[in-house]
Amino acid sequence: MTGSGNFKRLVLVVLTVLALSVSGLSLVGSFTQTQIQSRLELYQTNLMLRATGELDLPPDRPAETDDPIAVLRQQLLGDRTFADARQQYQAFREKAALSAEKFIRELTTPANNRSANSEASDLATAGPDSDFDRLAQQLRELAAVDLRLGLLQARLGDSTAALTTWQQLARLSASVPDSIDPQSFLSDFDEIRENLALLWGNRNQITNQVTNQITPALPPAIAQGIEDNIRQFLGGWFRNASLARLYRLQQRPAELSLLAAETNLQAESLLLKLAAVNLIPGLALLCGIISLIVLLVQRFLKGSNSLLSLASVQWTVPWTGETIWEVFILGFFAIGQIVVPLIRSIGLQLLGIQPSTLTGGTQAGIILFSYGLMAAGSVLTLRYAVKSYLPLPEGWFQFKWQNGRWLAWGIGGYCVALPIVILVSLANQQIWQGQGGSNPILSIVLENRDPVAITCFFLTASIAAPLFEETLFRGFLLPSLTRYLPPWGAIGLSSLIFALAHLSLSEVLPLTTLGIVLGVVYARSRNLLSSILLHGLWNSGTLASLILLSSR
C-alpha cells in the first residue's frame, strides 16, 4: 500500500464522514417537514372549483344534457365538487392549526431556565428565516385557508359557519405571546375578513354574534374598497365568487354578466386541459396495469426466459468497491452537498443578494446552474476514476440510437411504473401522515408561472436529471454492484441509494420503487437511452401536472 494510496483513503474517509453528516442531517431534518402532497391536493381542489364555471350561487337550471362541455364537466368533476372542497379545506385547516399550535407551545416553553417572555422576545427580534418567520408563515397560511373555507361554507348555504370560520384566527392569535405581536403579520387580513363578513352577514354583529342577515346595499366608495381588497387577497374561484356577491348586492348586472361569461370561458379552457392531462396518464396507467399482469404471467410460465428474468444479466467489473466509494463520496455527495452549496452561497454573498428576494426565474436559473455544476463535477470524477481501466469491457455506458427497442423499453417501463409507484405512494402516505418532507423544487414550481422559470425547470428535471442520474446510478453504480451482489440485489441497493440521494424521507419508498423499475429496464435493454427516456417521461409528467395545478 503506497503513501499516496493511504492519503487518498484518508481523504475519502474524512469526506465520507462530512458528506454523510450533511446528508444525514438533511434527511433527519426532513422528518419534521410537511409533505407537499396536501398542498397539491388543495391546488387540485382550487382548479376543480374554477372548472365548475359557477360563482357564489348554484346555477339557476341544470346543464343541458346534450352539451358536450357539460357532459365533460360531469365526468371529470361529478356533483360534489363544493362539498368535497369544503372537506378538503377543513382537513387541511385542522392539520395546519395543530401544527401551528404545537409550534407556539414549543416557542413559549421555557428552556434552560429562561422565561417564556425572554424566549418570545428573542424570537421577535430574530433575523431572516428565524422561528418568528416560520410562525408568521404558518399563521398567514391559516388566515388564507380560513378565508377560502368560509367562502366554501357560504357557497353551500351555511353563512353561520362561514362567519364563525372568519373569526377562528383571532382565537388562535390570542395564544401567541404578546411580545411576538401576531398582529404585525396578520393585521392586513383584518380588512378582507371584515369585508367578506359584510358581504355574507351583518357587519355590526360579526365580533359579537353570528347572523344570517345580508346587508341590502353598500355605498359606492365602500364597494370599491371591497372590490380592490378582494382582488388583492383572493384568486381563482374564491375571487370570482366574492366579486359576484358584491355585484349582486350592488345591483350591477352588467359587471355580473361579464364576470359570469369570463368565468365560464376560463372553466371550459380548464376542463379541456384537465381532460388532456388526465387522458395521457390514464391511458398509460391502463396500459401499465395490463402490461404488468402480462409480465407477471409470463414470468410464472416462462421462468428464466421471461422479460423479468435477470438470469442472463451480467457485467465484467474491472474495479473494486473503492472506485465506487470514490465516485459517490467525492463526485456526488461531497460536490453536490458541500462544494456546490458553498459556491452558491459565496456567489450570492459577493453579489449582495438575499435568497428571499430572488424571483422565480432567478431561483430556477440558480437551480439549473447548481445542478449542472454537480453533474459536471460528478461526471469528471467518474471519468478520472475509470480512466485507468479504459477501454472498458463490453456493455458499459451504452447509448444505442440505431434500433428502436430503447423507445419500447422506455415507454413501456413508464407505463408499468405508473401503477406500481402509485400503489406504493398510497401506502407511503399512510405511513408518513403528511410528514417527511418533499423536494423543495416542487414548491417553487407551484408558485411560479414565469416562462423563464418553467424553461429552467424543464431543462433541469426532464433533461439534465435523467441524463446525469441514469448515467451515474444505472450506468455506473448498478453494474459495479454486480461484482458483489446478484442482479436483483444490485438493482435494489442502487435504487435505495438513488432514493436516499434525494434527501427526503417520505420519498424514499416511492423513489426506491421507481429506481427498481429503472434498473430492470436498463438491465434488460442494456441501453441507457431506455432508462433516460423513462426517467424523462416521469419527471415531465410531474412537471406538467404542477404547471397545470398552478394555473391562475
What's the predicted TM-score (pTM) here?
Answer: 0.78
Which element (helix H / strand E) includes 98? helix 81-108
> DSSP state, 485?
S
Please classify residue 277 by burial: count the beta carbons closer than 10 Å to its beta carbon, then call 0-12 exposed, 13-18 middle and 19+ buried: middle
pLDDT score recorded for residue 357: 72
Residue type, 286: L
Query: Using CA atoms, how far apart are residues 347 and 141, in angstroms rounded to an integer?
Result: 32
Count CB atoms within 10 A of the CB of residue 436. 23
Alpha helices in 396-507 (DSSP H): 405-432, 440-446, 451-458, 465-469, 478-481, 487-500
Q: Residue holding cell 443578494? A: 353
Q: How far is CA 432 from CA 42, 134, 215, in A?
A: 18, 22, 47
Closest by CA to 524, choosing from 310, 315, 317, 316, is: 310
Question: What cell numbers appear for 48 in the block?
Answer: 376543480
Query: Using CA atoms, how far apart are residues 429 and 506, in angstroms rounded to an integer?
Result: 8
Calculate ∠ Cα 412-413-419, nearest 5°.
100
pLDDT score recorded for residue 464: 93
Question: What cell numbers appear for 175 in the block?
Answer: 395564544
Q: Compute and round to an integer the Cα radius of gyration of the chain.
A: 28
pLDDT score recorded for residue 93: 85
Closest by CA to 400, choosing from 529, 536, 535, 531, is: 529
Cα 411 from chain centroid?
24
Query: Using CA atoms, how far apart are residues 306 and 383, in angstroms rounded to an integer?
Result: 35
Closest by CA to 422, choosing from 284, 543, 325, is: 284
Q: In the chain, which stretches have pLDDT less than 50?
A: 112-129, 202-216
pLDDT score recorded for residue 86: 92
| Three-state SS at 482 | coil
Q: How far is CA 171 from CA 187, 303, 388, 549, in A?
A: 14, 65, 69, 32
Closest by CA to 257, choosing from 82, 436, 55, 409, is: 55
Q: Taken in order 474, 480, 484, 486, is the CA torsion positive or negative?
A: positive
